[in-house]
Amino acid sequence: MSSAAAPAADFRRRVLAGEWLAGSFINLGSSLTAEIAGRSGFDWLLLDQEHGPGGEETLLHQLQAVAATPAAPIVRIAANEPPRFKRVLDLGAAGIMVPYVSTEAEARAAVAALRYPPRGIRGVSKFNRAAGFGLAFDDYYAHAHERLVTMAQIETPEAVASAPAIAAVDGVDVLFIGPLDLTTNLGVPGHFDDPRFADARRSVAAAARKAGKAAGILLTVAAQIPVVRAEGYTVVALGSDGGSVTAGLLAAAVALRGK
């Protein structure tokens, strides 16, 4: 197994075993904050290519930085489009988070884009970072479908209703709630305590549990942790590098000004 594939293999096993897996979002496009986060004790990091500012070269540097840490690097792509999967996976991501997966068909398309033929439609190239630049290609080709993690984001009422069908798709490992998008699409933007959002969370967690998959979510405050943990969420991210930097700098400025 190549060094780039190693975190993926262990992480997917842990995901499907229902382990509590602590993560954070990396949205500044910085390889330095990615490395700091990777050394901070997280099990996984979400490198954001949907809303984050970085491009593919930035992502490569982030993946190289995280490879020197125990954290598994998951990349959120901007859209459920096959070329986006191929580029990110060849760079050595341990898995992909796919935004706005609202139907079973969209979930199947995501899994197909992540897997090589005959299991999917991912383009094949031996010389890439994920396959050890060709040195570990045979092993990677044979086992990538067993090692790479697919996180389907649940961000619409349609996705909540389709959660059982999405979870039942072979290769979908995590139903991951995007809280701001989901609350917005439920008509209660940012109201994370709203009963409609709570009902949606519980429905998604139940669907994941019934299918033997994991439920995941991004949290903004630590007080939410026991709530979602009790509901059955196990792949849980708290905050982001951008949020941490902003909060830290604001606190320092306030302290210096005595306000």
**What's the mean pLDDT in 133-137?**
96
CATH number of 6-257: 3.20.20.60
At 11-46, the pLDDT tens digits run 999 999 999 999 999 999 999 999 999 999 999 999
Segments making up each domain of the chain, as ranges: 6-257
At 76-124, the pLDDT tens digits run 999 999 999 999 999 999 999 999 999 999 999 999 999 999 999 999 9
First to last CA, the chain: 54
| Options 51, 61, 143, 191, the catalytic residue | 51
Q: In the predicted model, is pLDDT for residue 3 greater than 50?
A: no
Helix (H, G, I), strand (E, B), or coil: what is residue 122? coil
- Whole-prediction pTM: 0.94
Q: Which residues contact 154 (CB under 8 A, 6 or more apart)?
A: 101, 160, 163, 166, 175, 176, 177, 178, 182, 200, 204
At 44-65, the pLDDT tens digits run 999 999 999 988 899 999 999 9
Q: In the predicted model, is pLDDT for residue 8 greater than 80?
A: no
Of residues 259 and 243, more confidence is placed in: 243
Residue 191 annotated among the catalytic residues of the structure: no
Question: What is the per-residue pLDDT for 9?
Answer: 65
